[in-house]
């Protein structure tokens, strides 16, 4: 499924893979986010940090009426305030989707899959 944006010049289709890449980049750029996690860690047999090519495994995009709802699965660093990190992820994801792709987000749901001790 792709997001369709109607402009005066025509129709633009943005795939979920592109949206997942933008969302993953925005989420991992926040302080306290160790990385992206898989939404189906048990089924995928993968409980580690996703690399940039696999961000779509940690993002779920649901679209309706030119607005999308995004679920972001992240790993947070130990000792940090999870609610504050999640709030920062929500605002940066909304901002990046609006500025880079021109997509309005109805909601950004942040799911913390695990907490990891940061190496110093």
CATH at residue 98 = 3.30.70.1350
Let me know if residue 3 belongs to a domain. Answer: no
Asked if the structure places residue 84 within a domain, the reply is yes
**Dihedral sign of CA atoms 68, 14, 92, 111 in order:** positive
| Domain interval for residue 52 | 16-116
Percent of the chain with pLDDT over 70: 82
pLDDT at 54 over 80: no
Given this model, what pLDDT does residue 49 score? 63
How many domains does the chain contain in total? Answer: 1
Q: Is residue 4, in this structure, part of any structural domain at all?
A: no
Element (H, E) at 25: helix 16-28
| Digit-coded pLDDT (tens) for 85-118 | 999 999 999 999 999 988 889 999 999 988 888 6
Average pLDDT over residues 4-24: 86
């Amino acid at each position: 499924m792709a997001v369709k944006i109607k402009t005066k010049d025509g129709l633009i289709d943005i795939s979920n893979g592109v949206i997942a890449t933008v969302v993953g980049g925005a989420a991992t750029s926040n302080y306290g986010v160790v990385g992206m996690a898989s939404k189906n860690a048990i089924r995928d047999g993968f409980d580690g940090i996703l690399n940039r090519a696999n961000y779509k495994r940690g993002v779920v995009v649901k679209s309706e009426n030119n607005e999308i709802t995004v679920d972001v699965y992240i790993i947070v660093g130990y000792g940090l305030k999870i609610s504050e990190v999640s709030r920062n992820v929500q605002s940066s994801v909304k901002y990046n989707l609006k500025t880079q792709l021109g997509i309005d987000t109805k909601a950004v749901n942040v799911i913390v899959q695990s907490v990891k001790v940061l190496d110093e």
